[in-house]
Structure 1
Amino acid sequence: MADEYQPLVGHDGQESVSVISRRNKLVVMVLMSTVYFLISSVYALLSPFFPQVAKSRGVSHTEIGLIFAVYPIFTLLTSPICGILLPRIGVVFALWAGIAIEAGCNILFGFLPSVLDRGLFVAFCLIIRSIQGVASACSLIAALAIVSSVFADNVATATSTLETFSALGLMAGPPIGGLLYQAGGFKLPFIVLGSVSLVIGCISIFFIPRIAYATSSPPWRLMKQLIVHPRVMIISFGVALQMLVIGFLDPTLSLHLKPLNLTTSQIGFIFLALPAGYGLFSPVFGYLSDRFGYRPFIIFGSIGMGISLLFVGPAPFIRIKLSIGQSVPSLLALGIAGAAAITTSFADILEVAMKDLTNDNPDESSDFVIHSVVSGLFTTALSLGQVVGPIVGGIFTSLSQTSFDRTAMGIGFAIMTQE
């Protein structure tokens, strides 16, 4: 007898995604894109001013790095759990709870300078950022599962739109944080974004459909089947490796560009090339892959990222000098290739899951449980790359005998061969 997994919000208002009107689908996309934008903005909000504030409180560089890293670490640890539990607790409740908790923690973070003791300041920073990581995993997975279910016929197009707004959030977070910090001090950035997030969370309760679902297999069993599936393992490893590249550049690129004697603002604009390429081309590759297949774009993107990374160095065998004219196009190409590889990977994993995990019961092909589990696995792969990338970059930065160009070359060849 099939095990039924119903959300805690109850049966009232549950509806089949196949009967949702086009207008309501548009509302869902706007709300979920806003959620992705806000979560990414909150994640990057601290960059322009928090390190200086923390240093003034006697916080070490290592502790500051840990405060930044603990967010994606807890997102990584809790993403598979959230994907498994999502059918139990209900997608709307999970989305709202994740947004509300992260927003509350964000507002609370703004008051941390009132903590005078250095040790307590660091401890509270770590605790709040950890809780935010858990909450973001919950809301991101819920949003991804909702969009992939509502737009089941155009999964890559829909999820690539989310990736675009995620990239925009990462780009907008630092300038928003810097401007609000200058306007109203440490508290204002966190209060403003936290309040906006709460409003979006409340609106979502009324506009996100309650999706009914049932499955003959518990979510944890579906997750286990996915993890050991050869094709899913390859795609997930590729996503983690591709995100590792982006994370690797965070602590290393500015040091790599030091010989060019650029100002901080100039380096900041160079950093924008990668997310700009990623955000602009994600919808393009999503739309095309829904019509021509996902795997060709994954292969094209992986090879493109590897080649682009060789030119970012540039690799020792490429006779091009380090310059702005070499760095910006290389990073832009890296972002475009990343859009082709990463944004189509979720749809490919979902396609594999629908085909291979539902052979015994074709009616399960539209089951929301699979969307939830795949969302959890995909977010786990993304978070793994986000965590490992800066660590790899930091290690190789500390090893003076290992140059940036050779490290980038090695990672580039690894990406090209993994597919």
Structure 2
Amino acid sequence: MGALDSLKEFSLLTWMRERRQSRKLILLIVFIALLLDNMLLTVVVPIIPSYLYTMDDEAPIEDRSTPTTMPFPPSSTFQTIVSLYDNSTYETTGVSLLSTLQPPALSTSIAPTNATGSDCPKGDKQLLDENVKVGLLFASKATVQLLTNPFIGPLTNRIGYQIPMFAGFCIMFLSTIMFAFSKSYTLLFLARSMQGVGSSCSSVAGMGMLASVYTDDEERGNAIGVALGGLAMGVLVGPPFGSVMYEFVGKTAPFLILAVLAVLDGALQLFVLQPSKVEPESQQGTPLLTLMKDPYILIAAGSICFANMAIAMLEPALPIWMMETMCPRKWQLGVAFIPASISYLIGTHIFGVMAHKMGRWLCALIGMLLVGISILCVPLAKDIYGLILPNFGVGFAIGMVDSSMMPIMGYLVDLRHVSVYGSVYAIADVAFCMGFALGPSAGGAIARSIGFPALMVIIGVIDILFAPLCFFLRSPPAREEKMAILMDSNCSMKTRSYSMQGTSYQMGDDFETESDE
């Protein structure tokens, strides 16, 4: 029995060791990490604009809730606040949103409710001011991530990818809990900023880990395309999930569900990655500043930045523009992003494989042009259905760019620098974060100053003008010292091949000699 138990224990340990070394399991972990991170990133998109508006409007509403104006019991005050964009509450009470936005002296006159437009807060100064507040809140995550990335990249080169990956999970879990229970702008801002640190750890370590275990360029492109599918799924599920849960359950519920999923991801990381085990890179990586001076890496990073800046500007500005022009229900604010999310998932899945065959530079060039054209068409929409095609084009085009440029980052390091990937994917994540930092912060102010349509024209033209630069990535040259290393490597491989053929030939002679005897 003792020997049998020892044999079973040995088999279990062998199985666990094999699973830990499985590239597919590592890909699954990165996929889940990006999924949860981007669900948390986008689940707030339909919640925050409405929640901040109602939170700012809470005190005036309570001041006006006298028996002559709003005869509600105290327990129904919150429902009245939450339903600012839901006409059903005001239809049952006979008070319109227009009357609640008037001064107290005028609120005795009750206007008839109108589900088609009179209840829509067009031109409301408070609503327009939300552009700036929401933009700064959304940008805080990307800004902190932008500042953290230059430290995480070199750190992964020294201590390996496992510990930063697990640290990213822990920080994201704390951020999710803060989002669930925060009831002030300051705490929400802090939770969003904390998420930036966790995202930096997860994104840089995850992409570097994939680049290190998938050494073949085509396989690496396929793996990164699958991992970006997790990002796409998070972007896809986040807005509608958040809007529906906020509409029918409340603000806390979606974040608690994400926290439970994050715990499951952490358990999987503990089992597979063993984050307590430090495995530094065997080679000394190229310094971060050297990589940042490489013009080809800068072009790839610029493509990632400006393509994602388009959707980053849409996230805070589009829901507010819809409130001004379309008077949608709260759940529609999140559903409007579904076409972009679905098409991003399709784009990353298709071009993770096709980009290698058609040329990643060409895929990115077409994607940048398509982003610009699609974003120019967004303000032409008159209702939520008119947003379907432009948003679909935006998401699909960004999927083309991301699935092309992320593998090219690893390829450029292999071709022109030392094949250690933490720093270069820190640069890629910096580019991604610059888009999501500058997009919401600058976009909110621009939308308030010159309008949402003008904002879309600006970012659309920028993407179109940047697209031709992708041509320079068609055949980037190798550095002279890297070329020498590659030539030496090829020569040694050929010598080894010739020696193996000679050995085979000698073995053949011996076999023939023995046969003759």
Alignment partner for residue 107 of structure 1, among 177, 180, 188? 177
Preserved contact between residue 309 and residue 412 of structure 1 (Cα < 8 Å): no
Q: Give the deviation of 1:156 after TM superposition.
A: 1.7
TM score, norm. by length of structure 1: 0.79
Query: Residue 301 of structure 1 corresponds to which residue in structure 2?
Result: 367
Preserved contact between residue 19 and residue 272 of structure 2 (Cα < 8 Å): no
5+ residue gaps, structure 2, are 1-16, 58-128, 471-517
Aligned length: 376
Alignment partner for residue 411 of structure 2, among 326, 351, 365? 351
Query: Residue 313 of structure 2 corresponds to which residue in structure 1?
Result: 248
Q: Give the deviation of 1:407 after TM superposition.
A: 2.9
Query: Residue 515 of structure 2 corresponds to which residue in structure 1?
Result: none
Deviations 1:87-117 (A, max 9, x none): 223311111111012102322332334xxxx
Preserved contact between residue 163 and residue 278 of structure 2 (Cα < 8 Å): no
Preserved contact between residue 75 and residue 133 of structure 1 (Cα < 8 Å): yes
Query: Residue 334 of structure 1 corresponds to which residue in structure 2?
Result: 394
SS in 2 for 1:39: helix
Query: Residue 198 of structure 1 corresponds to which residue in structure 2?
Result: 263
* In the alignment, structure 1 residue 141 sits paired with structure 2 residue 141: no
* In the alignment, structure 1 residue 411 sits paired with structure 2 residue 481: no
Letter in 2 for 1:357: H
Query: Residue 226 of structure 2 corresponds to which residue in structure 1?
Result: 161
Computing the radius of gyration from Cα coordinates, the structure with the larger value is 2
Query: Residue 97 of structure 1 corresponds to which residue in structure 2?
Result: 167
Query: Residue 123 of structure 1 corresponds to which residue in structure 2?
Result: 186
Q: Give the deviation of 1:52 after TM superposition.
A: 4.2
Query: Residue 82 of structure 1 corresponds to which residue in structure 2?
Result: 152
Letter in 2 for 1:338: I
Q: How do 1:238-387 residues align onto structure 2 when only pairs under 5 Å count?
A: 238-254=303-319, 261=326, 263-264=328-329, 265-266=331-332, 268-313=334-379, 327-358=387-418, 365=419, 370-387=420-437
Q: Give the deviation of 1:53 after TM superposition.
A: 4.1
Question: Structure 1 78/356 Cα, relative in aligned 2: closer, same or farther at 3 Å?
Answer: same
Deviations 1:109-131 (A, max 9, x none): 32334xxxxxxx44333333222
Q: Give the deviation of 1:383 after TM superposition.
A: 0.6
Question: Structure 1 208/293 Cα, relative in aligned 2: closer, same or farther at 3 Å?
Answer: farther
Letter in 1 for 2:148: T
Preserved contact between residue 222 and residue 357 of structure 1 (Cα < 8 Å): no
Preserved contact between residue 155 and residue 290 of structure 1 (Cα < 8 Å): no
5+ residue gaps, structure 1, are 1-18, 114-120, 315-320, 359-364
The more displaced of 104-113 and 57-66 is: 57-66
- Report 1 or 2 for greater relative contact order, CA contacts < 8 Å, sequence distance ≥ 6: 1
Question: Structure 1 283/180 Cα, relative in aligned 2: closer, same or farther at 3 Å?
Answer: same
Question: Structure 1 289/208 Cα, relative in aligned 2: closer, same or farther at 3 Å?
Answer: farther
The more displaced of 62-71 and 260-269 is: 260-269
Deviations 1:245-279 (A, max 9, x none): 11122244456667974634556444322222111
Deviations 1:27-55 (A, max 9, x none): 22222211111111112223343444444
Query: Residue 116 of structure 2 corresponds to which residue in structure 1?
Result: none
* In the alignment, structure 1 residue 398 sits paired with structure 2 residue 398: no
Q: Name the CA distance, whole Å, in 1 between partners of 2:240 and 2:156.
A: 34
Q: Give the deviation of 1:184 after TM superposition.
A: 5.5
Q: Name the CA distance, whole Å, in 1 between partners of 2:391 and 2:179.
A: 33
Query: Residue 143 of structure 2 corresponds to which residue in structure 1?
Result: 73
Deviations 1:320-345 (A, max 9, x none): x8676764223322222221112210
The more displaced of 175-184 and 273-282 is: 175-184
Deviations 1:114-156 (A, max 9, x none): xxxxxxx443333332222111211121111222222232122
SS in 2 for 1:399: helix
Query: Residue 291 of structure 2 corresponds to which residue in structure 1?
Result: 226
Preserved contact between residue 71 and residue 130 of structure 1 (Cα < 8 Å): yes
Q: CA RMSD in A?
A: 3.1
Q: Name the CA distance, whole Å, in 1 between partners of 2:134 and 2:391.
A: 27
Q: Give the deviation of 1:56 after TM superposition.
A: 4.8
The more displaced of 234-243 and 404-413 is: 404-413
Preserved contact between residue 99 and residue 201 of structure 1 (Cα < 8 Å): yes
Question: Structure 1 157/262 Cα, relative in aligned 2: closer, same or farther at 3 Å?
Answer: farther
Q: Name the CA distance, whole Å, in 1 between partners of 2:440 and 2:290.
A: 30
Q: Name the CA distance, whole Å, in 2 between partners of 1:287 and 1:357.
A: 25
Question: Structure 1 307/415 Cα, relative in aligned 2: closer, same or farther at 3 Å?
Answer: farther
Q: Name the CA distance, whole Å, in 1 between partners of 2:320 and 2:146.
A: 27
TM score, norm. by length of structure 2: 0.65
Question: Structure 1 232/125 Cα, relative in aligned 2: closer, same or farther at 3 Å?
Answer: same
